[in-house]
Amino acid sequence: MSIENTRPPHGGHGDRGITVLLRRMHDAVAQEGSVQDRLDQLTSVIASHVVADVCSIYLRRPDDDLELYSTEGLNREAVHKTRLKWGEGLVGLVAEGHRPLVTADAPLHPAFAYRPETGEDPLHSFLGVPLLRSGKTLGVLVVQNKAARIYSDEEVGAAQAVATLLAEIAASGELLSQEETDVVGEMLRRPEKLKGFGIVSGIALGRAVFLQPPAPKHKVFADDPAAEAARLEDGLNRLRASVDEMLVSNASLSGVSRDVLETYRLFAYDRGWKDRLRAAVFSGLTAESAVEQVKAENRARLLQSRDPYLRERLHDLDDLSHRLLRLMGGALNGGRRKLYDDTILVASTMGPAELLEYDRKSLKGLVLGEVSATSHVAIVARALKIPMVTGVRDAIDRTDEGDQIVIDGDAGEIHIRPVREVVEAFRAKHQRQSERQAVYASERDIPTETKDGVKISILMNAGLALDMPYLEETGAEGVGLFRTELQFLIGTQLPSVSTQEALYREALDLAAGKPVIFRTADIGGDKTAAYMDHGAEVNPAMGWRGVRMAVDRPGIIRPQLRALLSAAAGRELYLMFPLVTLASELDGMRALLDREVERAKKSGRDLPRAINIGAMIETPAAAWQADQIAAKVDFLSIGGNDLAQFYFAADRDSERVQRRYDPMNPGFLSFLQMTVQKALKAKAPLSYCGEQAVDPVTAAALIGLGVTQFSLPAVSVGPFRRLVRSVSAGDLAAWLAVEMQQPHLSLRDGCAQFLKDNGAALE
C-alpha cells in the first residue's frame, strides 16, 4: 500500500510517486460534475495509487457523528447512511484520539464496530488517519486490505501526508458544497478549553496575537503552476537572504551556538527540500500548500526516526516552513506585532527581552507552549503581574489571531472563543480577585505573627526596578532576593558597570531604607546569553554556573561587584552568592570582593557603610554543611527551587519530570528541617526563597519546620500574611513531628486537612 514505494500503473517511485498522486488529486477536484462525483473520484484516485482494496473518507458532522462521505471498495449504498459516534468503532477511535490507528485484523480489535451495510466482512488490515486542521479532527481517512498485515511506519507517514491535504481541501471550500464548507468552518470556530499549568496567577480576557504572525490563508490547488513555481522561487530567495542576514547579525557567536545557526542555514539551502517543493507545485498545488505538504511529509518521516538528533531537527524544518509561508504571504522580517488594547500573546516560547518590548498597558496575558515556572520569561511576567499559562503546545493550532481568549492563571486553563456565560463568569472572578487584593493591601501594616506569637518576616522577590513600588504596596519588610542576572541575559552584550550601577542604585532608592539583598548574577549552565561562549554541557543545570563561573571568569563578576559597591555607597549593602556547593568556594568570592573594595579605596570612592555577605543553599551538599558555610557568611537563604531539583534529581525545567516530585514529601521535609536546625545552631539568620512558599500548604509546613523568614513574589505577600496569622507554629511542628515518621509519599493532603480543621486561611 506504500505511497512511496508501491506504484501500480498510475504510480511511480519515490518523490515522483507522491507528485503523481498530488497531480491526480488536483485533476479530480478540478473536474466538472457534482460535489459527490468529484469526491468519489478523489477517493478512487487515492485507492488506486496506494494499492488498497478499500479507501474511505469519513467527515465529521455538527453533532460529532462521523459520516461515510465517499468510498472506493465498500458498498456505495452505505455512503451518507453509515454513521459512527465520536469514539465509536475504529474510525471513532481515530477521530477521538487525534492519531493514526493500525491493526492487522480489524474485526478482532476490541473497539471494532460492525456495520453490515458497508460490506466490509472480508477485510482485515486497517489504517485510519485523522484529517486534522487547527488541532481539530475534521474526518478520518481509512485504508483497508483483505490480507492481514501491519502497515509500515513509512506507509502511515505517507497516509498522514494525504490526510493533511484532505483536511485543507475540506476547509478551503474547493470541493464541498458551501453549506458543508460552512459546517467545517463552524467546527473550526467552536469554543475550546485547554488545560495547562498556571505560572502567574490572575484572570485575563483579551484577543489573541501570535508572537510570530500566522501564515495567511491560501487555496489548495493552483490555477497556474508556473506562476506558483515563480512565487515559490521568490519566497525561497527571500528566506535564504533572511537566514544569511541572521548569521551576519550574530557573527560573534561561536561553538555550538554558531553550529546551530549554520545547520539552520544548510536546511534553508537544501536542494532536496527545494526539489520536493517544486515537484509539489507542478503537481497542481499552490506554493503555500506545497510547503504544508512537504512539511507534513518531513514531520511524518522524522517522527519515526530513532535518532534523537534527527527528531530535534523537526523544530528547524517547521520554523523554516512557517517563515517561508509568511514571506510568500507578504510578511516583512522583524518588527513587533501590533497589539489590540486587550492582547493575549500566544507563542510556543519566548525570551524575557521579547516580553519587555511589548506595551504593558495592552498586554493582558500570556499563553506559552514550552516554558517552565522558573524560566526568566516567567520571572519577568510575574514581576509585571501578567497572568500566564504554559504547557499548551497546541494553543497556536487551535487559535486564530483576533480570537477572544480567557486565561485563568490560577487553574492553568485557557478558554478560546468562550461562550458569553464563560466570559461573564470569569469577569466576576476577576472582580472578586481585585476586591481580595484591596483587602490584602488594607492589612499590610498588621503585625505578621502566628496565633502562638511566632514572628514571621516577609520579604519580596524582585529583579527589575519596576518591581520596587510593590514593596510599599505589599508592606514587605525588604527585598529578600533581587535577581541581577536578567540584565546579563536580555542584552546583546555584557552590561557595563555604569548600566548595572544605575539599576542597583535605583532599586536601593526605591526601597527607601528597607534592605535589598542582591544575588550576584546566577549565569552559566542553563542561563546564558547569545554573547556568552559557554561551550556544550550535557547537563547545564548541574554544570558551570553560579559561583563556579564567577571564580573562573572574574571578568564577569568583578564589574558587577564594582557596580554594587558604588551604588550602595554610604548605605548598607547585602550581597548573596548563588549555588554555593562547598564552603571553600566562598573564599574565592570573598577574595574577588576584597580586591574591588581595595580598588575603590585607592580610587578615593565612597564605600557602603556595611557589607553583609550571604550564601544560597541550593544543593544537598551545601545543605549538609550549612553550619560550615554559615561560619563564613552573615546570613543564609534556602533556594527551594534548585534544592528540590537536586534532591529529587528532577530537572525543574523539564515538563516530563518537574511535576513528579512534591516538596511535601516527608523525606524532603526532614531534609529541610535538618538544614534549618544547622542554621539555628550556627546562629545564622535563615530565609526561604522558593516557589514552594507560594503554596499555602507547603508554606505552613515550612513554618512548622522552624522557618521564620520568607521571600516571596509580590502578588503572594498578601495571602501569605493572612495565612501566617491563621496558624499556630507549635501545632504545625507537633503534627509534622508525628507525620514525617510515617511512610507517606506526600503529606500534602493530610496537611491541607489539618489546616482546614484548624481554620487556616488557605485562599
> What is the average pLDDT across 60-82?
88
pLDDT per position as a tens digit, 736-760: 999 999 888 899 999 999 999 999 8
**Grid coordinates of 559:** 564589574
pLDDT tens column, 294-331: 887 776 666 555 544 444 455 567 667 877 887 887 76
Task: Give the 3-state DSSP-derived string for 701-745, with helices as H, strands as E and coil as C.
Answer: HHHHHCCCEEEECHHHHHHHHHHHHCCCHHHHHHHHHHHCCCCCC
The percentage of the chain sitting over the pLDDT mark of 90, rounded to a whole number, equals 34
Adjacent-strand bridge partners of 416: 192, 405
Q: Among all chains, which residue has been given the C-alpha cell 509500515?
A: 152
pLDDT at 212 (0 to 100): 66
Q: Which three cell numbers stand for residue 3?
A: 505511497
DSSP at 658: T
Most confident of 313-317, 493-497, 563-567: 563-567
pLDDT tens for 638-696 read: 999 889 988 998 776 566 666 667 899 999 999 999 999 999 999 999 999 977 888 99
Measured CA to CA, the distance from residue 351 to residue 363 in angstroms comes to: 15
Domains recognised in the chain with CATH numbers: 14-188 (3.30.450.40), 196-211+338-429 (3.50.30.10), 225-328 (1.10.274.10), 456-713 (3.20.20.60)
Is 172 in contact with 30 (CB distance < 8 Å)?
Answer: no
pLDDT the model gives residue 134: 66
Q: What is the pLDDT of residue 155?
A: 78
pTM of this structure? 0.57
Q: How many Cα atoms occupy the beta-carbon half-sphere of 189 within 13 Å?
A: 11
The mean-pLDDT minimum among 146-150, 227-231, 258-262, 642-646 falls in 258-262
- CA-to-CA distance for 597 and 556, rounded, in angstroms? 16
The predicted model gives 389-394 an average pLDDT of 82
Q: Which residues of 339-375 are buried (b: 16+ CB within 10 A; e: fewer)?
A: beebbbbbbbebbbbbbbebeeeebbbbbbbebbbbb
Task: Check residues 205 and 181 and name the one with the higher pLDDT.
Answer: 205
| Maximum C-alpha span of the chain | 97
Q: CB burial class (10 A; 0-12, 13-18, 19+) of residue 628?
A: middle
CB 36 within 8 Å of CB 188: no
Q: Which one has a higher pLDDT value, 431 or 709?
A: 709
- The amino acid occupying position 745 is L
CA 341 to chain centre: 24
More confident residue, 685 or 225: 685
